[in-house]
Amino acid sequence: MVNREIIEAFSQIAREKNVDRSELGDIIEKVFLTLIEKKYESTENFDVIVNMDKGEIEIYHQMTIVDKPTGSVHEISLEEARKTEPDLQVGDPFIEVIDPLSFGRRLISHAKQILNQQIVRVEKNQIYEEYAKKIGQIIIGDVHQIRRDAIFIIIGKAELKMPREEQIPNERYRRGENIKAIIKEAIMGASGPEIIVSRADKSFLVKLFENEVPEIYDKTIEIKKVARHAGDRSKVIVESNDRRIDAVGACVGIKGSRIQAIVRELNNEKIDIINNSSESEILITRALSPAKPLELEIDEEKKTALAIFVDDEISVAIGKMGQNIRLASEVTGYSIDAIKKSDYELTESETLYLEDIEGITEHNWKLLYSYGIETAEEFLATHREELLSIKGLGDKTLDKLEQIVSEAQEKRKAEVAAVREAARAQREAALQNAQEQKDQSLREEEDIELSKEDIIEDFRQEEN
């Protein structure tokens, strides 16, 4: 049964919607099954075959021959069946061929509506499948819509979403402008695909490096770890797999050409490129750049580090809003705390002298002084046998002295730790307050920008 006109009408719609011809056949089949259900209230015992190459739609209805039909659409009387095939008997199956045009103009018109719906569904699936394969790739699109919680980017027929948390905080966007971002996630929801893109994610920075630095793209140089606070600062640890190639130099480029291209794309975000090292002291020192610590106290077991800085350089070490030391901690894997040299010396230089320890008699501390033992640290570091060799010190006296000095030393350590913790807490509170003020300022600026956009949009709508 040739129905080229119907297929051509449907094909024209499909071409306008850019639907593949093979998919169109499946859609037409589903459309006619919908029409069959609407007309006969069932699709059981019906078959629809669509041949796109020949332009044919064949619809077959299987029925059973009975003496007296009960009204079921799947029964036919023997008399009616024998009009087509005289040799048929009761109980035989009977196949009726249905002309698609028999559904009438109204149902055919309804079929076109269903076709459009099916095509929209296919388009949504195509968009989802296309972008699900592109996760981790950079795209360039046009800003289409700006909302309080997200901006929407158009690429062809796809609309991509960049939530507020995926935007660089100090950037401002305008409708119609080009924007570059990385595809972070593709979700197929009830209303269609939701493609999430990001400019704030660490992976966006990594991809920019891959695009700008050929040695990273071909794995000659590896990015080992990235810490990023979008819009402020990033720290990137790199390592060369070729001793002849300087990893940092390759990333910076001639006269800074490569790194500057990335910085411009990220709206002047500061980027520290760090050469990797297996020695934690070297790695942490490099990560704290642009500040340089005078000394580091590292606890490898607890993965902590105390960095001592010249007083004037402590603000550089901590960085604006605490970003520098926080990012250094994240990128190295060590919990780093910074302290001024004067504060460190204040806590460390207060040597605990034996004469200042309550409970030690004047006779005993003078006796120990005569042997060159003046501080608690010196006393506890001296072997017991050596102390017992001092005339006038017995076992019981020494036991008592060791207990008193140990307790005093522990107390002093606790006091020093308390001073450090108080200083750290004070810095954190100041940083938190500064961050809250910055966030509030950004929110106010965004509200002003969005209000402007709303006014412009209202004006455009009134003009239309």
Instruction: Compute CA distances 167 → 181, 329, 428, whole Å.
Output: 9, 24, 25
Is residue 20 a part of any domain in this protein?
Answer: yes
Q: Do residues 148 and 126 both lie within one domain?
A: no
Q: Do residues 101 and 36 both lie within one domain?
A: yes
Listed range (183-192, 204-213, 261-270) with the worst mean pLDDT: 183-192
Residue whose C-alpha is closest to residue 74's, from 88, 94, 54, 59: 94
Q: Do residues 25 and 106 both lie within one domain?
A: yes
Domain that holds residue 177: 134-198
pLDDT at 412 over 90: no
State residue 299's pLDDT score: 93
Predicted TM-score (pTM) of the model is 0.65
**What whole-number distance in Å separates Cα of residue 437 and Cα of residue 442?**
9
Mean pLDDT on 271-278: 96
pLDDT at 427 over 70: no
State residue 117's pLDDT score: 78
Instruction: Report whether the peptide linkage leading into residue 290 is cis, meaning its omega lies within 30 degrees of zero.
Output: yes
Is residue 180 a part of any domain in this protein?
Answer: yes
Q: Which residues of 198-210 are buried (b: 16+ CB within 10 A; e: fewer)?
A: bbbbbbbbbbbbb
Residue at a domain's end among 130, 147, 179: 130
Residue at a domain's end among 166, 198, 230: 198
Q: Supply φ then ψ for residue 51, to 5 degrees.
A: -115, 100
Residue whose C-alpha is closest to residue 32's, from 15, 16, 50: 50
**DSSP code at position 71:** S
Is residue 147 a part of any domain in this protein?
Answer: yes
Mean pLDDT on 73-81: 89
Q: For strand 56-66 and strand 46-51, is the pairing parallel, antiparallel, or unpaired?
A: antiparallel
User: Which helix (H) or strand (E) segment is 158 a member of?
Assistant: strand 158-163
Mean pLDDT on 59-69: 91
Q: For strand 56-66 and strand 270-275, is the pairing parallel, antiparallel, or unpaired?
A: unpaired
Strand ranges inside 174-320, DSSP E: 178-189, 192-198, 221-229, 233-240, 270-275, 295-299, 304-309
State residue 2's pLDDT score: 43
Mean pLDDT on 377-385: 88
Q: Supply φ then ψ for residue 302, to 5 degrees.
A: -90, -5
**What whole-number distance in Å separates Cα of residue 166 and Cα of residue 228?**
13
What are 99-124's pLDDT values in tens digits? 877 776 666 677 677 777 777 887 88
CATH at residue 143: 2.40.50.140
Q: Do residues 107 and 151 both lie within one domain?
A: no
In this structure, are residues 139 and 183 in contact, taking their beta carbons and an 8 Å threshold?
Answer: yes
Q: At which residue do the structure tokens 């926080």 appear?
A: 326
In this structure, the chain runs to a length of 464
Is residue 27 a part of any domain in this protein?
Answer: yes
Q: Do residues 105 and 171 both lie within one domain?
A: no
User: In total, how many domains does the chain have?
Assistant: 3
Strand ranges inside 251-378, DSSP E: 270-275, 295-299, 304-309, 335-340
Is residue 302 a part of any domain in this protein?
Answer: no
**What whole-number distance in Å separates Cα of residue 39 and Cα of residue 399?**
104
Is residue 145 a part of any domain in this protein?
Answer: yes
Q: Which residues of 74-100 are buried (b: 16+ CB within 10 A; e: fewer)?
A: bebbbeebeeeeeebeeeeebeeebeb
Q: For strand 138-146 and strand 93-98, is the pairing parallel, antiparallel, or unpaired?
A: unpaired
Is residue 81 a part of any domain in this protein?
Answer: yes
Residue whose C-alpha is closest to residue 157's, from 131, 179, 182: 131
Is residue 15 a part of any domain in this protein?
Answer: yes
Residue at a domain's end among 198, 222, 239: 198
Q: Do residues 193 and 77 both lie within one domain?
A: no
Residue whose C-alpha is closest to residue 216's, from 236, 234, 199, 197: 236
Q: Do residues 10 and 113 both lie within one domain?
A: yes
Q: Do residues 148 and 121 both lie within one domain?
A: no
